[in-house]
Every structure is written in structure tokens, then in C-alpha cells.
Structure 1
Amino acid sequence: MSSSAEDWDPRRLPDLRGRTYLVTGANAGLGFFSSRQLVGAGAHVIMTGRSPNRLATARKALAADLPDAAGSVETLLLDTSNLGSVRAAAATVRQRGRLDGLLLNAGMVHAPANRQTTRDGNELVLATNALGHYALAGALLSTLAARRGRMVWLGSMSTSLGAKDPVDVQLTEGYTPWRAYVQSKTVTTAVGLEADRRLRAHHVPVMSVIAHPGYAPSGRTRGIRGINEPSRLGRFTDNLQAPVTQSKEHGAWSLVRALVDPAIEGGEFWGPRLIARGTPRRAQPAKLTRDPAIGERLWVMCENATRMRWPFEAARR
């Protein structure tokens, strides 16, 4: 059974020394603050992102914030929208041979106005938020299994706001930015839950968990040069919503708990206590995402879109 929210203090994490975590999209936002919390608890963190300059800035900012933990951070180029980049990054991590957890955080919140596709031929938002993470988790499955590790998929409370069955997953018709974002998060959550079912069925010692940050805008988050620099207008606007929002530091709490709390079990869904804000608690994913038939269909879609099958038998112990 999972411990209750009252038993967990996100400001006082358990000792994570000796553990290694990979965080996608770690150069800003939730990924940066999740990395900061993990490093602050003693973990070694592989911060990944698409831009070497932004990764260097993030690593420098984290080292300045936690000077005693500077040696516990490394950076790795990874673009989740590019399957070649995913394969290359996974190969690098496998060579290092130690991984306790994956925080599958990278993603597009503000989708482009018009539909775009990647060099692999997939719709851009789906590729960035869901397909790249499916491929990364699969490529690192045996490495995670060797440490009885965990993967955490980044969900969204938007999936409970009227999300529909993603039949046209690639959005070849009726594309809108909001639909692209919500549908990508519906796929992410459903596939994360389907991963749990398949991991259990194949007796692979890896947990799949989903977490969402609530509503955590930049304007409610402390400014850090090169990491979080909202405009004055953006900060003013975001602070008008203070009763129903929280900072990205606090939004990262649910993600980090889902990644490191030893009491959490595979297939669980975590988010803020008040849905949009608050300390982490176990929650209920949208009904649509819990449907095994939809999960299986979307899993096969991921296999076909990435041309990759997870190596369950090889990861089995």
C-alpha cells in the first residue's frame, strides 16, 4: 500500500545517494526543478535536453543553487521528437550501465498553430510528448530492470477535461493546438498504464507510474536566469490565478514522489492534493485512459510509429 500524503514531506526527501535518474527536458521548467530536488537529496542526475547551450546553463544554475552537489550532475543531448536522437542517447546510458529511474518529462505544452511532422513522419506534439518517451523507456528497459527501477510518465489534468478516444492519433484531420496537446497526454497516460500491465505480465521488475504537476505556470515560479524568465506581464497574469496555481518547484513534487517513494506501486497515478496545486497524493486517471482496450490499441500504435518493440523477455529476471 502507498503511504498517505501526510507521511510524505516533499521538502525532506529520502536519502538518494547511490541512485541515478535520467530526466528528459531538464534544462527548464518541471524538469529542472525535479532535477534540483533529486540532486539535493543526493542522487546522481542525467539532465537531458535538445540544446547543449541550454543544458550547460541549467547545469551551471543547478550547481550554483547546490554547490556541494555539482559533481552529481551530467548532461546528455536528447530530442524526444527525433527517434535517432532517442536511440543514440539510450545507447550512451546503456554503456554507463546504471539507472534507477526515468522521469519522462520533456514535452510541448504550447503546440504549434498548424500541424507539423517530424523527420520520422509523426505528428510533432505526439512524437515529442509520447512516442519519444515510449521509445526511450523501451530502449532502457533492461538497464532499468537490472536496478529494479521505475519510469514516470508525465500526465496532465487536462485529460479529465473532456478528452476523447484518440482514434486519429496523428491528427491528419481536425488539428488544433489544444487537441494536439490533450490527445498527446491521453496517449501518454494510457500507454503508461498499459506499460504497467505488460511489465507485470512479463514479470519484468520495473514499475510504470504516471504523475501530473497540476497547474504550474512560469509566472508563479522564482526567476532563474536562463531557466525561468517570465515577462512582467506574464508574472502579473499568472499571479492573478494564485488561488488555483502553484510554482513549478511545487509542481515537481508529484513527479519526484512518483519517481522515488518506495511505497508507490506500478500503475498508480499521482498529482497535487487539490488537483491543480498542493502536496502529492494518489489520484485517479481519466476513465478513458484506464480502458485496457484503448491502452492496447495505443501501445500497438506506438510500436508501429517508432518501429520498436519493448524487449520484455530480455529484461525479465
Structure 2
Amino acid sequence: MARDDWDPDRLPDLSGRRYLVTGSTRGLGFFASLQLAGAGAHVIMTGRNPHRLTTARAALRRQVPDAEVETLLLDTSNLGSVRAAAATARGRTGLHGLLLNAGIVHPPRQREVTRDGHEVVFATNALGHYALAGELLLALAAGRGRMVWVGSMSTVISPMELIDPELENDYTPWRAYVQSKIATTALGLEADRRLRAAHVPIASIVAHPGYATGGRTRGIAGINTPSRGKRFLDNLQAPISQSKERGAWTLVRALVDPLAEGGQFWGPSRGATGRPVPATVPRVARDAELAARLWNYCEHATGTVWPYLKASKTKRR
């Protein structure tokens, strides 16, 4: 079990360790990257917009002048982009951690599909991360690293059934978001089961940030510049909300705490706010049969078979 004396403001020395963070240009991804870099890690910041990536890297370097940070174009809604980014990342040294953070938080009003033909929220939040983790599995194994999938409080307060992941019927923006987070949680837990069964030295963990809002987060040019109205409205929710910086605490602890374990679900101590602690897996994501079906769907939808798991299946025959 993880220690009780964890201090989010005093992370262990991460010098010599490499982490890739998806969706690094703002929000949780930026602050997770900032916290990792501040502890001495080499951080690969990723995003789909080159200008925003440049801005985010410069903002991070203003906070941590000696940070070891590089950028990598990656759009998790585009499987071609996922494979290209993974090929670049694989060409370097091993990875110690992969934070699967990028995602659509405010889905479109009407159902949209990607160029690959998948519903855009499910593709961005779940399918792309499944494919990326599979493509980077060898690099993670080389670093004996771990992957952290980002879940959400929404899976507790709105426990939907994951029957139609692409929402070809009954699409709503809220349903699209919640189902995508049920999927990331179920995939993260299923990944750990399969990696353990194949004796692969990689831990898969799920973490959620609680209720983290931009209006309660310090302003950083190009990263977080909420209006006065947003600050006022978000501060009205102060008892049940926290900053994006604090929301990132849980993701970072799951990624770097040596005593965090594969298969765990992490969240803030008070549910929506607080220090990062192990939490209870949402009921809807505990169904191992559902997770296995979802895994098989992602495998066929992305054309990605995780390498060690493929070898393990072949060996068992």
C-alpha cells in the first residue's frame, strides 16, 4: 500500500526518469508535466496543436528554468497520429511512465466521427489511449514503468451501462463523456489484469482528479486565463472543487509513487477534493466480462494488439 506521508509539494527525485504526458498544453496535463519536471524528470509534452505545444513548453520553462522537456505532436483522436508519435517516442530511450490524460471534457452537441470513423469522444478519450499504450508497451517494459489512465467522478455519480461505446444510438454530450470515462477506467484495470497474466513488468493504474476547475487555478499566460465571471462562478463551488494543480496531484502520485500498485484506483481523499489516496473502483467498471469485451472491441477497432499479450496467447496454445 502507498504511504500516508506523501507530500504533493515535495515529490521524490525523478532525475533520470522519462515520462510522456498526453494533452499537455493546458489543464491537468500541463500541471502534471510541471510537477514532474519540477522533480527533475525528463517530460515529453504532447498535444495536437504545434503552437499550443510551443506555448506550453515555454510556460513550463518559465516555472522550471532547468526543466528537461521536449514536445511531440499527438492527436489521440487520429490513429495515424498515435502511431507516428509512438514511433518517434520508441526511437529514444525507455519510458518510465505514460500518463494517458488527453481528452474531450465538453463533447459536441451532436454526434461526430473522426477520420477513422469512430465517435470522437470515445476515440479521443479511450481508443487513442488504448492504441498508444500498446504501441509504447516495449518502451515501458524497458523502463519497468507504469501507465496511468485518467478516470472521472462522473462514473460514480452517473453509473451508465456501457452497451454502445460508439453511441450510434441515443447520443448525448453527457452520455458520451461518462461512457468514455467508464471505458478508460475499465481498460486501465483490464490492462493490469492482462499484463500480470503475461508477467510483463508494467503496472496499469487508474486515477481521477476530483472536481478540478480552471476558475480556481492560478493564471498562467497561454495556459489558464479564466475570465472574472468564470473565477466568480467557480469560486462559488469552492467547498466541492479544487484547482487543476491539485487535481493533477492524484495523477502524478499514481504515476511516480514507488508504492502505488497496478490495478489500483486513485482519487482525492474527499472524493471531489483533497490529497491523493487509493479509492474504491466505481461499480460499473468492476465488471471483468464487460472489460474483456471492451478490450476486444478496442483491439479490432484500432488494429492494435499489445505485443507481449500477443506473445503470451501464442505461447499458451
Name the TM tier (shorter chain): over 0.9
Give the equivalent residue in structure 2 for 1:26.
Answer: 24
Contact persistence 2:13–2:39 (CA under 8 A):
yes
Give the match for residue 128 of structure 1.
124
Partner of 1:177: 173
Check the 8 A contact 1:83/1:306 in 2, yes or no.
yes
Report the TM-score when normalising by structure 1: 0.97
* Secondary structure of the corresponding residue to residue 68 of structure 1: coil
Structure 2: gaps (5+ residues): 313-317
Say which SS state the counterpart of residue 270 (structure 1) adopts. Answer: strand
* In structure 2, C-alpha distance between the alignment counterparts of 1:61 and 1:315, rounded to whole Å: 43
Question: 2-side partners of 1:46 and 1:173: how far apart?
Answer: 38
Offset of 1:68 from its aligned partner?
2.5
CA shift, 1:315, in A, is 8.2
Query: Amino acid of the residue matched to residue 261 of structure 2?
Result: E
**What residue number does 1:270 align with?**
266
Aligned to 1:60: 58
Structure 1 runs (4+) greater than 6 angstroms displaced: none
CA RMSD between the two structures: 1.1
Query: What are the within-5 Å matches in structure 2 for residues 179-258 of structure 1?
Result: 179-258=175-254
Q: Deviations over 1:3-33 (max 9, x none)?
A: 23xx100000000000000000001000000
Query: Which of 295, 306, 310 pairs up with 2:306?
Result: 310
Tell me the distance in 2 between the aligned counterparts of 1:293 and 1:51: 37
Aligned residue-pair number: 312
Report how far residue 228 of structure 1 moved: 0.5
Distance 1:13 1:148 in 2: 20
Matched, 1:79 2:75: yes
Shift of 1:314: 7.5
Indicate conservation of the 8 Å contact 1:145/1:315, yes or no.
Answer: no
- 2: CA distance, partners of 1:149 / 1:314: 19
In the other structure, the counterpart of 2:2 is 2
Which one is further off, 304-313 or 164-173?
Answer: 304-313
Kept in 2, the 8 Å contact 1:142–1:315? The answer is no
Q: What's the offset of the Cα at 1:184?
A: 0.1
State yes or no: 1:49 paired with 2:66: no
- Counterparts of residues 109-124 of structure 1 (less than 5 Å): 109-124=105-120
Q: Please give the TM-score of this superposition, normalised by the length of structure 2.
A: 0.97
User: Which residue identity is paired with 1:84?
Assistant: G
Is residue 82–residue 132 contact of structure 1 (8 Å, CA) maintained in 2?
A: yes
Q: How does 1:293-304 map to 2 (within 5 A)?
A: 293-304=289-300
Question: Cα deviations across residues 45-95 of structure 1 (Å, max 9, x unaligned)?
Answer: 0000000000000000011111122xx000000000000000000000110
How big is each residue's C-alpha offset from its partner over 1:259-308, in whole Å with a ceiling of 9 and x where there is no partner?
Answer: 00000110001010001011101001111101110110110111111111
2:33 to 27, 30, 35: 35
Deviation of the 1:181 alpha carbon: 0.1
Q: What do the CA deviations read for 1:88-114 (whole angstroms, capped 9, x no partner)?
A: 000001101321000000000000000
Residues 142, 314 of structure 1: 8 Å contact kept:
no
